Structure 1
Amino acid sequence: MTRTQRRTRSIALTMGLAMTLAACGGTTQDSAQDDPVAGDEETLDPTDADDTADGDANAGGAEDYEEGLAITMLPKSVNNPYFEASSDGAQMVVEDELSGTYEYTGPSEATASSQVSYINTLSQQGVDALLLSANDPNALCSSLDQASSGGTAIVTFDSDVDPECRDLFVSQVDGEEVGRALIEMAAEQIDGAGEIAILSATANATNQNAWIDVIEQELANNPDYADIELVATVYGDDEDEKSFAETQGLLQAHPDLEAIISPTTVGIAAAARYLQGSDYQGEVALTGLGTPNQMREFVEDGTVEEFALWDPGALGELAAYTGAALASDMITGEEGDTFTAGDLGEYVLGQDGVILLGPPTRFNAENIDEFDF
């Protein structure tokens, strides 16, 4: 029996109990109340989101979503511009498109232990769907299993857990594509030679580690990068001050450093702020993943030449539609299931319950003012 089948069975048992109580004059707890950014030629992959589905009879329209669903987003940490943008997208879908109730909650520090307490609370509340960006692939599994057994659809986005611990994963892009793009941008900015370092988020972040693995594989196997040496990988834990300090530490420990890759929106902004106005500005390249709005000033003053990202708002939208589709029994979680995610188009569930949003976009001085997120 799959996780989704167990979840559906739990819902059926709960509904049966509710009907029995109603027949006996008892009461039950009331349920909850009443365009992705176009990347055109700048995208790393020309695939369009609409091409991700085969348009078969399993695809569902907006009329198939259950109304009044209670959906909660739990990010790695709050007060993070990236996740706030994702939350805006999800909230719009849940409240405006699906007439449901939405909550955005989470810890101030990006740790697995801090997320556990939130998952346990949401499990007790019995939300219909949980949209989770995980700080650890395994440490959350026990709490997620408890929530799932209570009928909550578990959808991870941005950063996954072990597939056995959730129903579906909404991935921003193919992980290998991100890793290759990161090292490619760094190589271009240092003319293919020199020392580089990585400023990551947390040491256990699934997505960060997958991208770093690809970077390391490219450095080891791609002759184009034979003259590039990765000298250090440090972790800012998605905290601004720590990421700022780690940037300082890298530059002091490696005086010949040519570039820093920071595949985290908090890290790249903190590193840019350290470089800005310092002797390193224009001397040490910085690239990675960030939002146009937070990085615009650093591009305009030459601190950062180019970076990349997908639309986090669209990622939040897709995560919300995915959770709602699962909670509405429009999809079962099986490979090949399709559903319509509003204006984003139709999507198909891939292997291991993975759904891809689409390709990222490279941002630089030529195009950054075309984007607002």
Structure 2
Amino acid sequence: MRDSRFMRVLALLFAVVLGAAVITGCGSTKDDEESGSASSGSTAAETTAADSSATIKKGLNVVVMPKQLGNPYEELEDKGTVAAIEETGGTAKIQGPTDAAASSQVSLLRSITQQKPDAIVLAANDPNAVVPVLKQAQQRGIKVVTQDSDSAPEGRQIFINQATTQSIGEQLAKQALETAGSAGGEVAVLSATANAPNQNAWIKIMQTELKKPEYSKIKLVKVAYGDDDDQKSFQQAQGLLSAYPNLKSIVSPTTVGIAAAARYVSDSKYKGKVAVTGLGTPNQMRKFVKDGTVAQFALWNPEDVGYLGGYAAAALASDVITGKQGESFKAGKLGTKTIGENGEIVLGPPTTFTTDNIDKFDF
């Protein structure tokens, strides 16, 4: 009898242990495994070696995210990215927020990460806010390329820079000097958002340049933010001229801002008295150059920025490169490109547009 009870107890214990094992096994989902790998800090880039002899894979699925939908500059850039991906035999889908808030971009990136595309090509609205979700994407095997506006380096493998930060900042300072006139005077900056990493980096270099002796006649009185919104930028330009009646020049390192400022000045008492310059596209600025509102502005070809970003993403997703300094890959019509320090690839110096050359460009 005691033996019988003993056997029943053993059977009951065996059933409990077996049930626990089954429950533990069911709790180990794919997401849990990925979460576990995330805590180790490893990424696909750390475990995959580059193969310079490899070719770009066909059928890659790439998501392209601008700072916000409807931005003319971003549309040109994304057009280039899509063209590059399609050239390599892949498909590219543009998904972006309707506003320039970092939180909107982060929310959308979370959703995209769950879809597990081969790569994400992103223009970041904030250098730090996007990092956690971009790291999560990398841990799921998604390659990340930033273009035009970078995240912190740990958020991506490659950054496509239009030109060096130093050269753009120097260009903006030079524009301020040349458009203010020989007597110099007060200048203001009309930027995008207060957290835009590329804008802030350029303005910081510009401010450093303006401290040099050759810029002693220039006084930077204000950095205003139009949030890359046309109407807000228009109002900010109006506000600058109201607050600083002796202003000589508005320098806007954003295509939305420079067009809005030029539109306001062109139809005001300030036309011919206050210069507008900065970074813009020839097609949006042509009429302001020809009516005398804008004497000069500068930019690189945004389609080429996006095109290079698309080829970099395809090369990453095909293990042709991993993002390490010194690695090279073929970028279609742009030729061979080499990765520099901190995963950065520089497209090239900006072009200055004036009445003499603006009709030679169509973008």
TM-score band by shorter chain is: 0.7 to 0.9
- Secondary structure at the counterpart of residue 334 of structure 1: coil
- 8 Å Cα contact 1:58-1:337 kept in structure 2: no
1:46 counterpart residue number? none
**How far is the alpha carbon of 1:182 from its aligned partner?**
1.1
**Is residue 290 from structure 1 mapped to residue 289 from structure 2 by the alignment?**
no
Supply the distance in 2 between the matched residues of 1:147 and 1:120 (Cα, whole angstroms).
8
- Which protein has greater RCO, CA pairs closer than 8 Å, 6+ apart? 1
**Is residue 352 from structure 1 mapped to residue 342 from structure 2 by the alignment?**
yes
Supply the distance in 2 between the matched residues of 1:284 and 1:8 (Cα, whole angstroms).
50
Out of 43, 48, 59, which is 1:6 matched to? 43
1:313 counterpart residue number? 303
Code of the aligned partner of 1:74: M
- Over 3 Å counting, the alpha-carbon distance change for 1:258 and 1:8 in structure 2 is closer
**Cα shift readout 1:164-215 (whole Å, capped 9, x = no counterpart):** 1111101010011001111112211222510000000011111101110111
**Is residue 199 from structure 1 mapped to residue 198 from structure 2 by the alignment?**
no
- Over 3 Å counting, the alpha-carbon distance change for 1:194 and 1:208 in structure 2 is same
1:179-190 aligned within 5 A: 179-190=169-180
Code of the aligned partner of 2:189: I
- Over 3 Å counting, the alpha-carbon distance change for 1:98 and 1:5 in structure 2 is farther
- 8 Å Cα contact 1:4-1:332 kept in structure 2: no
**How far is the alpha carbon of 1:5 from its aligned partner?**
6.7
Between Structure 1 and Structure 2, whose CA radius of gyration is higher? Answer: 2
- Secondary structure at the counterpart of residue 245 of structure 1: helix
Supply the distance in 2 between the matched residues of 1:58 and 1:276 (Cα, whole angstroms).
54
1:312-331 aligned within 5 A: 312-331=302-321
Runs of 4+ in 1 over 3 A off after TM superposition: 8-12, 57-60
**How far is the alpha carbon of 1:345 from its aligned partner?**
0.6
**Cα shift readout 1:102-159 (whole Å, capped 9, x = no counterpart):** 1112112111001011111110110111111111110111111111111110100001
- Over 3 Å counting, the alpha-carbon distance change for 1:218 and 1:291 in structure 2 is same
Q: How much identity, in percent, do the aligned residues show?
A: 51
- 8 Å Cα contact 2:48-2:322 kept in structure 1: no
1:71 counterpart residue number? 62
Q: Alignment length, in residue pairs?
A: 325
**How far is the alpha carbon of 1:59 from its aligned partner?**
5.5
- Secondary structure at the counterpart of residue 210 of structure 2: helix
**How far is the alpha carbon of 1:255 from its aligned partner?**
0.4
1:1-373 aligned within 5 A: 6-7=43-44, 64-95=55-86, 97-192=87-182, 193-220=184-211, 222-373=212-363
Calculate the aligned-residue CA RMSD, in Å. Answer: 2.1
- Over 3 Å counting, the alpha-carbon distance change for 1:99 and 1:239 in structure 2 is same
- 8 Å Cα contact 2:157-2:322 kept in structure 1: no
2:16 counterpart residue number? none
**How far is the alpha carbon of 1:7 from its aligned partner?**
1.5
Supply the distance in 2 between the matched residues of 1:242 and 1:180 (Cα, whole angstroms).
27
- Given the two structures, how large is their TM-score scaled by the length of structure 2? 0.86
- Given the two structures, how large is their TM-score scaled by the length of structure 1? 0.84
- 8 Å Cα contact 1:132-1:155 kept in structure 2: yes
**Cα shift readout 1:17-74 (whole Å, capped 9, x = no counterpart):** xxxxxxxxxxxxxxxxxxxxxxxxxxxxxxxxxxxxxxxx9766xx811110011111
Supply the distance in 1 between the matched residues of 2:143 and 2:223 (Cα, whole angstroms).
35
User: What are the ranges of 5 or more consecutive residues in structure 1 without an aligned counterpart?
Assistant: 13-56
- Secondary structure at the counterpart of residue 268 of structure 1: helix
Moved more, 309-318 or 189-198: 189-198
Code of the aligned partner of 1:254: Y
- 8 Å Cα contact 2:116-2:142 kept in structure 1: yes
